[in-house]
Amino acid sequence: MLSEIDPFYAMEINRLAHHLKGRTVIHMEYGQPSTGAPQAALAVAHRVLDTDAMGYWESRPLQEALASLYRRRYGLTIAPERFVLTCGASPALVLALSAFFSPGDRVVLARPGYVAYRNVLKALHLVPVEIACGPETRYQLSAAHVEALDPAPQGVIVASPANPTGTIIAGAELQKIADAARARGAIIISDEIYHGLSYTGPAATMLAFDPEAFVVGSFSKYFSMVAWRLGWLLAPEDKAERARAFCGNMFLTAPSLSQHAGIAALEATDELEKHVDVYRTNRDLLLKALPRLGLDRIAPPDGAFYLYVDVGHLTDDSLQFCKQMLTDTGVAAAPGIDFDPVEGRHYIRLSFAVSTAETEEAIARLAPWFAARTR
C-alpha cells in the first residue's frame, strides 16, 4: 500500500518567492544560513578539485575529526567508526529509521516538530505518534509524555534545539527522557543538527545520558554548508556496521568533495562563531520588534535560528497568510502547518539566518503590513 505524505509547504512559498516580480525577496522561509562554507573549507575544495579525481569514499580522517569534535564539545570519547557519513541529515534520519525499526512500529515525537519526521515515518510505514507540546513543556517532549504512552512506543525522536521553535531541552530532562525510554524499551533518535547554535547556554547531547541513542548530525547549519550535503549518523558501537550496510545500499557514500571540505570546516571555529554572533543580533532585533507588531506570543528561541510566532489573532490559514505576506511585502516565511497539522494554521516560522541588514529591512516592511491588520 502506498504511503500518503503531506507536502513541505515552505517549498511552495519558496517557489512563489522565486516567481515574484518587481521586488527583492527576503528569504526567511528556509532554515539555511545566508553565509557560505568557511573559507578554509573552500580552499581545500579548490585544491581537491584540481588534484583528485575523487570517487566513492568514506573518509576516515573526517570520522576522526568528528570524534575530536565530540571530545572538545561534550567531553565524550567516541570511536571514529561509529560515525556513518551521509548525504546530509535527512538520509541519516532515513537510515536510522529503516535499519532499526519495522513496519508498524510506533515512534513518538513532539508536535510542533520538523515536517520530515512525520512524513518520513509514514513513508517507511512506521506510525508517527505526535504529542501536542505547548508552553508548559516549552514545546518539547517530556519524560512524562513517554511514560504515559499506552502502548509503549518502539522509538522516540527528540530535537534540541528544535525546529521550528528553537527550544532546548535541559540536561536534567534529557536524563529523564533517556530513563523513561530505556524503561519502556524504546530507541531514541536525537536530532542534534543545530548544536553550536545556542543563545542561552550550550545544548547537551543525548549521548551523555543514553549511550545507545542514535544521533543525527549535519554540516548544514552551524557549519554553513547546506548545499554540500554532508551529515552523519552516530550509531551505537554494536549497530554501526548494520547502519553502514544500509547506507551503502541506499545512498552509497557522502560526496567526496564535501568530506574533504568538512575536515577543514571543523577547525573554522572563529569564523563560524562570527556567524552565530550575527544570528544572535538578528534574534534580538526580532524579539524586540515583533511585540510592537502585535506578535507577542513566541516560542522561546534558545537556539537554532527560528522564531515560531502565533498569528492566530489574524488568521486560521497560515499557508494563505504566508502567501499574502510574501506577495504584499516580499518577506517569505514558513507556514506553521508544516510543523503542526493541527494547530499550525495559527503559526508562522521566521528564520533569522539571514544578514542583519535583511533582518532590519524585513522588520521595516512588516511593520506597516501588520499595523494595517491589527487596527
CATH number of the domain at 56, please: 3.40.640.10
Q: What is the pLDDT of residues 245-261, one digit of tens each?
A: 999 999 999 999 999 99
Residue-level pLDDT at 22: 74
Residue 230 inside a domain? The answer is yes
CB neighbours (10 Å) of residue 19? Answer: 7
DSSP assignments along 287-337, one per residue: HHHGGGGT---B----BTTEEEEE-TTT-S-HHHHHHHHHHHHSEE-EEGG
Per-residue cell: 269: 571555529
Domain C-terminal end among 211, 234, 265? 265
Q: Are residues 335 and 193 in the same domain?
A: no
Full domain range(s) for residue 91: 39-265
Instruction: Calculate mean pLDDT across residues 315-340.
Output: 97
pLDDT interval class at 54 (50, 70, 90): confident
Q: What is the pLDDT of residues 270-314, one digit of tens each?
A: 999 999 999 999 999 999 999 999 999 999 999 999 999 999 999
pLDDT interval class at 73 (50, 70, 90): very high
Instruction: Calculate mean pLDDT across residues 223-252.
Output: 96
Instruction: Calculate mean pLDDT across residues 7-13.
Output: 92
Q: What is the pLDDT of residues 83-137, one digit of tens each?
A: 999 999 999 999 999 999 999 999 999 999 999 999 999 999 999 999 999 999 9
Residue 76 inside a domain? The answer is yes
Per-residue cell: 292: 510592537
Domain C-terminal end among 217, 246, 265? 265
Q: Are residues 43 and 175 in the same domain?
A: yes
Percentage with pLDDT > 70 across the chain: 99
Residue-level pLDDT at 4: 81
Residue 1 has pLDDT above 70, yes or no: no
Number of structural domains the chain divides into: 2
Q: Are residues 101 and 179 in the same domain?
A: yes
Return phi, psi of residue 188, to 5°.
Answer: -100, 130
Least confident piece of the model among 21-25, 30-34, 116-120, 189-193: 21-25
Residue in the block written with cell 498569528? 311
Nearest residue to 60 via CA among 263, 257, 244: 263
Residue-level pLDDT at 375: 67
Q: Are residues 61 and 194 in the same domain?
A: yes
Residue 4 inside a domain? The answer is no
| Percent of the chain that is helix, strand, coil (3-state, to 5) | 45, 15, 40
Cβ(235)–Cβ(79) under 8 Å? no
Q: What is the pLDDT of residues 29-50, one digit of tens each?
A: 999 998 899 999 999 999 999 9
Q: Are residues 275 and 310 in the same domain?
A: yes
Q: Are residues 66 and 137 in the same domain?
A: yes
Q: Are residues 120 and 206 in the same domain?
A: yes
Domain C-terminal end among 265, 296, 329? 265
pLDDT interval class at 21 (50, 70, 90): confident
